[in-house]
């Protein structure tokens, strides 16, 4: 047998643009794809996430074989415990003389890989992941010497670099950012289009049965599984979004409603994150929709900002700041997560809906994640690592490179302001303004104290009060801190006392 090289492809690297596949000769290599307990259990992943990854892996393996590649595939029931064990197994079967891997998206796995060469006794090369629009080196260069690493400036550079929504050297329409037009609350203004789900083929149905049996207590209602598992079907989802939801995406990007879990959102983050879609063509397609008059500039810009700006920015920041970033806890938040984070059984309607949806579907949109669940965790001072692990577990699209900065930095302000210029803290008034949850809630968003008072309100002021020393240093908090200090001491005390009671009653709220 000729000497062969193994290429390990991870469950979130299922792309023909994978840096090791683009000019690989199938004759010389063996592709290793492995469903392994270690990756499936390092947090209590949502069953939607495990099923999507396993089904997409199996479909990708079929596509590789159809193009003449040899694939060494292990299924979960083969009991190969780890990715390293899968590589050892493949080395022995195929007499591999070398292993190549594309860098993983999580520090945890990247750290493990540094000892693989010794463990395997063959050369191991880790290559750059070229599926991102800003490499780790690009981002480090951008960050060098800057006092603040604000996304907005990074995003502008990326717009110029990729010439998206540009008029010569100027931003399309004269402004870089149309966020101010993207904040309407939901009052049933228009019809929400019925979103077709992907049909399930035999491969996906088999995976769903296996995942249900192997992970009986993980979150995720698999009877609602609706996700694409191939690049072709992910492309169809993107096309549906552009045709039917994009025109309203910008306006209602921050809206909250009981009418639909999806509203006008793209639902493509998972496909981007596991390799079924590529970020640049996605942005180009949305820009083309704007150019032909199908959607407004604010819709196209709002969408492109998420993919070209936020997504690349959080990934750059993650690699720049890890491993220390994961340990940060600037606000000393250590309170235990209430048990209802795993059931959604709280009377707070907005939270109950957002948590149940996250657990059952593996999905919630960014305002549910940031301003309903994240905001509550921030105000209540919930344990940072526990909250981050929760986000990593429940969301379909969560890999640590994207989850950690968004949760620890943006939602919980635990990095002390590396990402956000001020905490995303808000009272019940914001949630009321953004949607229709409060109408169905036993609590009243207008009351601050008393049994019917919305807990977000007193917790908001409790948060402001207990962090007043550090928040007073923040120029963007000046108005709020000044207003709070001007209130009568007895008034402040009553609100903070009620907030304290809410914290004590957290498990039963
Ligand atoms: C998330 C995940 C799961 C649930 N299972 C697997 C698996 O069995 N095999 C695999 O190769 N990848 C899996 N993944 C994705 C990896 O966890 C992901 O590649 C790393 O976390 C790096 O981002
Ligand atoms: Fe949420 Fe408060 Fe409104 Fe209830 S009243 S839905 S807890 S914001």
Burial of 71 (C-beta count, 10 Å sphere; 0-12/13-18/19+): middle
Asked if residue 176 is part of any domain, the answer here is yes
Residue 186 domain-assigned (yes or no): yes
Ligand number with the minimum distance to the CA of 430: 2
Which of 107, 127, 147 marks a domain boundary? Answer: 127
Strands 4-8 and 29-34: parallel
Read off the pTM: 0.96
> Are the C-beta atoms of residues 125 and 100 closer than 8 Å to each other?
yes
Asked if 202 and 60 sit in the same domain, the reply is no
Question: How far does residue 130's CA lie from ligand 1's centre (Å)?
Answer: 18
Q: CATH number of the domain that 239 lies in?
A: 1.25.40.80
Domain count along the chain: 3
Domain assignment present for residue 501? The answer is yes
Which residue, by CA, sits nearest to atom 9 of ligand 1?
A: 35
Q: What pLDDT does 21 receive?
A: 87
Q: How far is CA 434 from CA 181, 193, 296, 302, 370, in A?
A: 14, 20, 21, 17, 13
Calpha distance 281→133 (Å, rounded): 11
Domain contains 30? yes
CA 375 to chain centre: 16
271/383 same-domain check: no
Query: Residue 409 Cα, ligand 1 centroid: separation in angstroms?
Result: 23
Residues 346 and 407 in one domain: yes
Q: Same domain for 300 and 430?
A: no
CB 6 within 8 A of CB 99: yes
What is the domain-level CATH number for residue 352? 1.10.579.10
Q: For ligand 1, atom 8, which residue shows the shortest CA distance?
A: 35
Domain stops at, among 286, 321, 356: 321
45 found inside a domain: yes
Q: Is residue 365 located within the same domain as residue 503?
A: yes
In order of 78, 171, 363, 478, 484, the CA distances from 472 in angstroms are: 57, 35, 36, 6, 11
Query: Does residue 216 sit within a domain?
Result: no
Q: What's 472's DSSP letter?
A: H
List, chain by chain if needed, residues with CB within 6 Å of any ligand 2 atom: 348-350, 428, 431-432, 437-438, 441, 443, 445, 454, 456
Residue 183 is predicted with a pLDDT of 81
Print the SS3 string covering 176-237: CCCHHHCCCCCCCCCCCCCCCCCCCCHHHHHHHHHHHHHCCCCCCCHHHCCCCCCHHHHHHH
Ligand nearest to the Cα of 82, by number: 1
Q: Tell me, yes or no, whether 159 and 74 share the same domain.
A: no
Q: Please check whether residue 345 is in contact with residue 351, taking contact to mean a CB–CB distance below 8 angstroms.
A: no
Is position 221 within any domain? no
5/335 Cα distance (integer angstroms)? 49
- Residues 277, 149: one domain? yes
162 lies in the same domain as 300: yes
480 and 357, same structural domain? yes
In this structure, which residue's CA is closest to atom 23 in ligand 1?
A: 105
The domain that holds 36 is classified in CATH as 3.40.50.620
The ligand 1 site (C-beta within 6 Å) comprises 10-12, 34-36, 39-40, 45, 50, 53, 83, 104-106, 109, 399
Of 337, 436, 435, 437, the closest CA to residue 394 belongs to 337
Q: Ligand 1, atom 4: nearest CA belongs to which residue?
A: 40
- Residue 326 domain flag: no
Predicted pLDDT at 186: 86
Q: Are residues 159 and 40 in the same domain?
A: no
Q: What is the number of the ligand 1 atom nearest to the C-alpha of 38?
A: 8
Q: Examine the domain organization and report whether 356 and 499 are in the same domain.
A: yes
Among 430, 437, 499, say which to mutate for ligand 2: greatest number of ligand atoms within 8 Å of CB: 437
Which ligand sits nearest to residue 447's alpha carbon?
2
- Stretches in the chain below the pLDDT threshold 70: 1-2
Please, are residues 129 and 319 in contact by the beta-carbon 8 Å criterion?
no
Which of 371, 374, 441 for mutating ligand 2's site (highest number of atoms within 8 Å of CB)?
A: 441
Q: Dihedrals φ, ψ of 425, to 5°?
A: -105, 135
The bound ligand whose nearest atom lies closest to the alpha carbon of 354 is 2
Lookup: tokens for 492? 């402040």
Ligand 1 centre to CA of 39 (Å) is 5
Report d(CA 49, CA 363) in Å as an integer. Answer: 10
Please tell me the distance between residue 475's alpha carbon and the centre of ligand 2 in angstroms.
Answer: 29
Residue nearest to atom 8 of ligand 2 (CA): 428
Asked which of 77, 96, 127 is the last residue of a domain, the reply is: 127
Strand partners, 318: none
Q: Which of 10, 15, 227 to mutate to test the pocket of ligand 1 (most atoms within 8 A of CB)?
A: 10
Task: Clarify whether residues 344 and 492 are in a common domain.
Answer: yes
Confidence (pLDDT) at 30 = 96
CA of 76 to the centre of ligand 1 (A): 12
Domain that holds residue 176: 136-209+230-321
The half-sphere exposure of 86 on its side-chain side, counting CA atoms within 13 A, is 28
Which residue's C-alpha comes closest to atom 7 of ligand 1? 35
**3-state class (DSSP) for residue 34:** strand
- Of all ligands present, the nearest one to the C-alpha of 435 is 2
If you measure from the C-alpha of residue 99 to the centroid of ligand 1, how many angstroms do you get, rounded to a whole number?
18
Nearest to 305 by CA among 294, 290, 292, 321: 290
Contacts by 211-215, CB closer than 8 A, 24 or more apart = 211/47, 211/50, 211/51, 211/54, 212/47, 214/40, 214/76, 214/77, 215/40, 215/45, 215/47, 215/50
pLDDT of residue 250: 83
Compute, in angstroms, the gap from residue 382 CA to the centroid of ligand 1: 27
**Which ligand 2 atom lies nearest to the CA of residue 431?**
8
The structure tokens 């690699």 sit at 319
8 Å CB contact between 241 and 268: yes
59 CA → ligand 2 middle, Å: 43
Starting from the CA of residue 429, give the closest ligand: 2
């Amino acid at each position: 047998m000729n000497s062969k090289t193994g290429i390990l492809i991870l469950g979130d690297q299922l792309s023909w643009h994978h840096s090791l596949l683009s000019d690989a000769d199938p004759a010389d290599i063996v592709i290793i794809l492995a469903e392994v307990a270690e990756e499936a259990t390092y947090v209590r992943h949502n069953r939607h996430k495990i099923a999507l990854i396993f089904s997409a892996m199996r479909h990708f393996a079929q596509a590789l074989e159809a193009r003449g590649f040899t694939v060494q595939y292990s299924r979960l029931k083969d009991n190969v415990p780890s990715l390293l064990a899968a590589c050892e197994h493949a080395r022995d079967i195929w007499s591999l003389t070398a292993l190549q891997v594309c860098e993983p998206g999580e520090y945890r796995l990247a750290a493990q890989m540094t000892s693989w060469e010794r463990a395997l006794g063959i050369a191991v090369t880790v290559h750059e992941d070229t599926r991102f629009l800003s490499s780790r080196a690009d981002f480090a260069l951008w960050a060098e010497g800057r006092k603040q690493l604000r996304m907005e400036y990074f995003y502008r550079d990326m717009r110029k670099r990729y010439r998206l929504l540009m008029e010569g050297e100027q931003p399309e329409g004269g402004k870089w950012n149309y966020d101010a037009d993207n904040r309407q609350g939901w009052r049933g203004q228009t019809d929400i289009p019925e979103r077709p789900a992907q049909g399930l083929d035999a491969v996906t149905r088999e995976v769903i049965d296996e995942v249900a049996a192997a992970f009986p207590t993980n979150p995720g209602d698999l009877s609602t599984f609706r996700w694409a598992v191939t690049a072709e079907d992910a492309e169809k989802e993107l096309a549906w979004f552009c045709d039917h939801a994009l025109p309203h995406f910008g306006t209602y990007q921050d809206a909250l409603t009981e009418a639909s879990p999806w509203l006008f959102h793209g639902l493509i983050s998972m496909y981007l994150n596991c390799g079924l879609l590529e970020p640049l063509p996605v942005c180009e397609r949305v820009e083309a929709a704007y150019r032909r008059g199908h959607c407004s500039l604010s819709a196209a810009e709002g969408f492109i900002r998420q993919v070209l700006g936020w997504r690349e920015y959080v990934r750059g920041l993650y690699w720049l700041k890890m491993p220390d970033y994961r340990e940060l806890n600037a606000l000393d938040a250590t309170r235990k997560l209430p048990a209802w984070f795993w059931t959604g059984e709280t009377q707070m309607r907005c939270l109950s809906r957002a948590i149940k949806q996250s657990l059952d579907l593996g999905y919630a949109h960014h305002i549910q994640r940031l301003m309903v669940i994240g905001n509550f965790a921030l105000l209540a001072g919930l344990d940072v690592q526990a909250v981050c692990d929760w986000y990593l577990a429940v969301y379909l699209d969560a890999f640590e490179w994207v989850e950690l900065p968004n949760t620890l930095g943006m939602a919980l302000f635990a990095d002390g302001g590396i990402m956000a210029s001020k905490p995303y803290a808000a009272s019940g008034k914001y949630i009321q303004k953004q949607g229709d949850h409060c109408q169905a809630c036993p609590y009243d968003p207008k009351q601050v104290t008393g049994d019917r008072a919305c807990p977000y309100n007193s917790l908001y002021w409790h948060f402001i009060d207990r962090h007043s020393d550090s928040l007073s240093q923040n120029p963007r908090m000046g108005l709020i801190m000044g207003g709070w200090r001007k209130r009568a001491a007895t008034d402040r005390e009553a609100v903070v006392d009620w907030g304290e009671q809410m914290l004590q009653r957290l498990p039963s709220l």
